Amino acid sequence: MTDSRIALVDVNSFYVSCERVFDPSLEGRPVVVLSNNDGCVVARSNEAKALGIENGTPWFKLAADADRIGLVAKSSNYELYGDLSERCMRLLSRYGSAQEIYSIDESFLTLSGTPEEQHRTAREIKRVVARNTGLPVCVGVAPTKTLAKFMNRIAKQNAHLGGVCTYDTMPPGDTENIMSRVPVTGIWGIAGRLGKRLNGIGIFTVADLKASDPVAMRKKFSVVLQRTILELNGIPCIPLETERASKEQMIFSRSFATPVTTAARMREVMSLYAQQAAIRLAKDEQQAAIMTCFAGTSHFNEKASSFPSATVKLPGPTADPVILTKAAVAALDGQVYDGVPYARAGVMLTGLSPAGAQPQLPSFATAHEEKNIGALLGKVMDRYGTAAIGLGRAGMTVAPDWQMKRERMSPRYTTEWDDLPVVRAN
């Protein structure tokens, strides 16, 4: 048998593993990586999972006990993770006739050959990624994406499999056995809400779902669930997306380290966020037609509740930081009040199109629009930091106090010359 199959390669505890690549002393210890603003746990090592620490736990609830239980927390370092991700994805691309980069730490690959050959390829992938990047991965191989995800999960949870699990080489009885024991929420696309509704009609395990009638389930639930059921039965319904579709919307939003309580400060925030959004537009080679600006108080603050937002139509599709910044600064005018403790804010861009798709008539383009300032801002900030340059921030030479907290961040070893690791030889 030489059917083509799908491999799902996933880095174990990706963010934690990235931290460990550069700090081997973290090996074997409970480690968590925190969200932006050092808010809550977004990645855990197995040792941290074993301590019962859940994803989403606020750091302030763990901090006091951290030393006592030997828990290490790191601020998230997306420069580092993004760079290691790229290296990893480039390596993986060698091993499949097609590749879908599904997330920062996951790729689907198309494998050919016999099941035994595919299993050997999967083992080689694991070996080569470990040797070339230092990152541990697990690989699941199966006829459909949903089954590949499931096989990957089995590989992760059963150390004796050596991090690789292939549907076609597993004794069918073993697979059925596992499926009849894993809760239905162990399947890709089924989380709490749907899980509860399924339990309500007697579907508790993966095996129960697999045995259900896809047509009836589509009527009762959704087309998504029907596809999942068919995929569990080996019928591919979810195609490999080898071309990254261009984004439909772009959001830049952040929580503040300390609340923003004045309209004047909020204008500063909007100005900086709009510039970050412009930089991303330039990187994606896109332009936007509509901008929504929003701010909000903390959802945990019941006394002050305010969620201002405003949508403005831009003069035409644009990626120009000058236009975007002016629009953002003006958008929330009159809706943000002094004295209200805003906890977060953001800029959303919609109506996106490829840059240059609708070339503007020269008479409508402003002088600065043609100069692609967004890309320039991005390059300067990449090299000299975000404080080095900016529009309309006269005198703002130090980071404002609302800027997000990253108190426990490791150096950006691979993307900052000044953060290069130091090697000592005795």
Which residues of this protein are in contact with DNA, per CB under 7 A? Answer: 14, 35-37, 39-40, 42, 55-56, 58, 60, 63, 102-106, 149, 188-195, 222-224, 245, 247-255, 298, 300-301, 343-344, 346, 404
- Work out how close the CB of 218 gets to DNA at its nearest, in angstroms, rounded to a whole number: 7
For the CA atoms of 315, 319, 321, 325, the dihedral, rounded to the nearest 10 degrees, stands at 50
- Work out how close the CB of 33 gets to DNA at its nearest, in angstroms, rounded to a whole number: 10
Helix, strand, or coil (residue 110): strand
- Work out how close the CB of 197 gets to DNA at its nearest, in angstroms, rounded to a whole number: 8
Rounded CA gap, 68 and 59, in Å?
A: 15
| Backbone CA torsion sign across 237, 239, 245, 247 | positive
Q: Report the residue number, 163 or 296, with the smaller CB distance to DNA.
A: 296
Nearest to 291 by CA among 265, 263, 330, 259: 330
Q: Where are the beta strands (DSSP E) in 221-268?
A: 250-260
- Work out how close the CB of 360 gets to DNA at its nearest, in angstroms, rounded to a whole number: 22
Burial class (CB in 10 A: 0-12, 13-18, 19+), 137: buried
Q: Report the residue number, 37 or 166, with the smaller CB distance to DNA.
A: 37
Per the structure block, which two tokens stand in for 393?
Answer: 């921030």
Answer for the pair 123, 7: CB distance below 8 angstroms, yes or no: no
Helix, strand, or coil (residue 143): coil
Q: Report the residue number, 152 or 175, with the smaller CB distance to DNA.
A: 152
Q: Report the residue number, 245 or 398, with the smaller CB distance to DNA.
A: 245
Which residues on neighbouring strands pair with residue 297, listed in sequence order?
A: 342
Q: Report the residue number, 43 or 164, with the smaller CB distance to DNA.
A: 43
What are the two backbone dihedrals, phi and then psi, of residue 392, each rounded to the nearest 5 degrees?
50, 45
- Work out how close the CB of 209 gets to DNA at its nearest, in angstroms, rounded to a whole number: 12
DSSP readout, 357-374?
A: SSPPPTTTS-TTGGGTHH
Per the structure block, which two tokens stand in for 396?
Answer: 């703002």
Q: Report the residue number, 42 or 409, with the smaller CB distance to DNA.
A: 42
- Work out how close the CB of 121 gets to DNA at its nearest, in angstroms, rounded to a whole number: 22
Q: Report the residue number, 336 or 347, with the smaller CB distance to DNA.
A: 347
Rounded CA gap, 207 and 113, in Å?
A: 28
Answer for the pair 111, 143: CB distance below 8 angstroms, yes or no: no
- Work out how close the CB of 362 gets to DNA at its nearest, in angstroms, rounded to a whole number: 29
Q: Report the residue number, 109 or 115, with the smaller CB distance to DNA.
A: 109
- Work out how close the CB of 232 gets to DNA at its nearest, in angstroms, rounded to a whole number: 13
- Work out how close the CB of 60 gets to DNA at its nearest, in angstroms, rounded to a whole number: 3
Q: Report the residue number, 102 or 120, with the smaller CB distance to DNA.
A: 102
Rounded CA gap, 263 and 255, in Å?
A: 16
Nearest to 210 by CA among 241, 240, 178, 238: 178
- Work out how close the CB of 279 gets to DNA at its nearest, in angstroms, rounded to a whole number: 12
Answer for the pair 341, 259: CB distance below 8 angstroms, yes or no: yes
Rounded CA gap, 78 and 189, in Å?
A: 25
Residue 229: CB atoms within 10 Å: 23
Q: Report the residue number, 113 or 341, with the smaller CB distance to DNA.
A: 341
Cα within 13 Å of Cα(99), Cβ side: 14
8-state DSSP, 242: -
